[in-house]
């Protein structure tokens, strides 16, 4: 892969650049959500015994029953602990979960107040979100629309406004900076490239780390994904953005969620919720079915709360 030039790397979030430059993962850094995640990831890389389907940490046991998902994880973003894991290091297609990394990469090089003009090329990806050529949107509203309704057009337009090829480079550079060695991106939407090649790959563990980082840096943008009704203004009109995570919006304490589905990926879903006030937990399921991803996440959240009540 062609490495990004220094001018691009210099624009990546300072905390990411520091991680990439120093490679320092210590217990002292556990107060940071993302460094906590990278620490546990790297420790496992040092021949730690593989996690089983039920992981006991401080007498905290999660028993969700059978899951449709090929891989899943429950990650304590506050304490940096893995509470449950199923095939958490298996590399799988990410589908539209990719859009979280796309948004992070785009915002690392461009202010959310930037104005984006929709082009015909932006409307080429699969799916029609109602965007029209020539419309002018604020980057913030375009990204919100892209995450809430999982609009491929909106995310393609946001990425193209900075140079799509450069954004993909930054996405991969950011993954490397976070220590996510299995995570690779080929486009900003996560759409399959062919019948055998996905637009992005990564593991459940890596997605948990990425979600924790996104929650830390862009909490307002992430929280917009679980609003029951979101009206977004762009192109001189107002659009009702229907959240793709609608089936789980009734879960108490839900902070944010992102769906993903392609032929290669199957049903993917990430969700963050407060186990207790100010105690965010990240749940990731990969390779489930279109409907099963929602029941899988609900089962993991319910099991987490049940385990807490017994602890």
Q: Of the candidates 206, 201, 182, which has an alpha carbon nearest to the alpha carbon of residue 34?
A: 206
- Least reliable range by pLDDT among 131-135, 228-232, 297-301: 228-232
pLDDT tens across 127-157, in order? 777 899 999 999 999 999 999 999 999 999 9
pLDDT for the residue numbered 163: 76
With beta carbons less than 8 A apart as the criterion, state whether 142 and 157 touch: yes
pLDDT for the residue numbered 130: 83
Greater confidence (36 vs 211) lies with 211
Number of domains composing the chain: 1
pLDDT tops 80 at residue 231: yes
Exposed / middle / buried, residue 195 (Cβ in 10 Å: 0-12, 13-18, 19+):
exposed
**CA atoms lying within 13 Å on the CB side of residue 127:** 17
What's the domain range around 159? 6-310
For tokens 């297609």, the residue is 93
With beta carbons less than 8 A apart as the criterion, state whether 94 and 198 touch: yes
* Structure confidence at residue 269 as a pLDDT band (50, 70, 90): very high
pLDDT tens across 40-60, in order? 333 333 333 333 333 344 446
What is the DSSP code (8-state) at residue 195?
A: S
Residue 263 lies in a domain: yes
Query: What's the whole-number average pLDDT of the chain?
Result: 83
Residue 276 lies in a domain: yes
Residue 1 lies in a domain: no
CATH number of the domain enclosing 68:
3.40.710.10
H or E segment at 45? helix 33-45
Greater confidence (265 vs 2) lies with 265
H or E segment at 17? helix 14-22
Q: Of the candidates 216, 156, 168, which has an alpha carbon nearest to the alpha carbon of residue 35?
A: 216
**CA atoms lying within 13 Å on the CB side of residue 291:** 0
Q: What pTM was computed for the model?
A: 0.81
* Structure confidence at residue 126 as a pLDDT band (50, 70, 90): confident
> Which residues lie across from 55 on neighbouring strands?
none
pLDDT tens across 270-293, in order? 999 998 888 999 999 999 999 999
pLDDT tens across 11-27, in order? 444 444 443 444 333 33
Sign of dihedral through CA atoms 151, 8, 139, 179? Answer: positive
Helical spans, DSSP H, in 163-311? 164-177, 204-217, 219-223, 292-310
The mean per-residue pLDDT over the stretch 66-93 comes to 95
Q: In this structure, how many other beta carbons lie within 10 angstroms of the beta carbon of residue 237? A: 10
pLDDT tens across 203-226, in order? 999 999 999 999 999 999 999 999
Contacts of 46-53 with C-beta under 8 Å, sequence gap 24+, read 50/89, 51/82, 51/85, 51/88, 52/85, 53/84, 53/85, 53/86
Residue 286 lies in a domain: yes
pLDDT for the residue numbered 60: 63
């Amino acid at each position: 892969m062609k490495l990004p030039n220094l001018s691009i790397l210099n624009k990546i979030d300072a905390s990411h650049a520091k991680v990439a430059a120093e490679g320092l993962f210590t217990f002292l850094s556990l107060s940071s959500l993302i460094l906590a995640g990278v620490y546990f990831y790297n420790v496992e890389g040092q021949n730690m015994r593989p996690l089983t389907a039920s992981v006991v940490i401080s007498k905290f046991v999660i028993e969700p029953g059978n899951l449709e998902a090929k891989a899943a994880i429950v990650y304590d973003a506050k304490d940096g602990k893995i509470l449950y894991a199923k095939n958490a290091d298996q590399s799988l297609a990410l589908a539209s979960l990719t859009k979280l990394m796309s948004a992070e990469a785009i915002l690392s090089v461009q202010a959310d107040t930037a104005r984006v003009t929709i082009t015909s090329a932006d409307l080429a990806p699969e799916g029609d979100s109602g965007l029209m050529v020539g419309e002018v949107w604020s980057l913030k509203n375009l990204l919100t629309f892209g995450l809430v309704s999982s609009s491929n057009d909106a995310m393609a337009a946001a990425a193209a406004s900075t140079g799509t090829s450069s954004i993909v480079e930054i996405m991969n550079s950011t993954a490397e900076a976070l220590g996510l060695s299995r995570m690779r991106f080929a486009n900003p939407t996560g759409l399959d490239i062919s019948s055998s090649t996905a637009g992005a790959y990564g593991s459940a563990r890596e997605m948990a780390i990425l979600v924790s980082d996104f929650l830390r840096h862009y909490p307002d943008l992430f929280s917009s994904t679980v609003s029951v009704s979101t009206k977004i203004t762009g192109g001189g009109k107002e659009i009702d953005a229907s959240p793709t995570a609608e089936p789980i919006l009734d879960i108490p304490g839900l902070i944010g969620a992102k769906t993903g589905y392609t032929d290669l990926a199957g049903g993917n879903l990430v969700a963050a919720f407060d186990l207790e006030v100010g105690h965010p937990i990240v749940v990731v399921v990969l390779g489930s079915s279109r409907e099963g991803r929602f029941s899988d996440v609900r089962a993991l959240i319910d099991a987490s709360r049940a385990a807490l009540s017994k602890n």
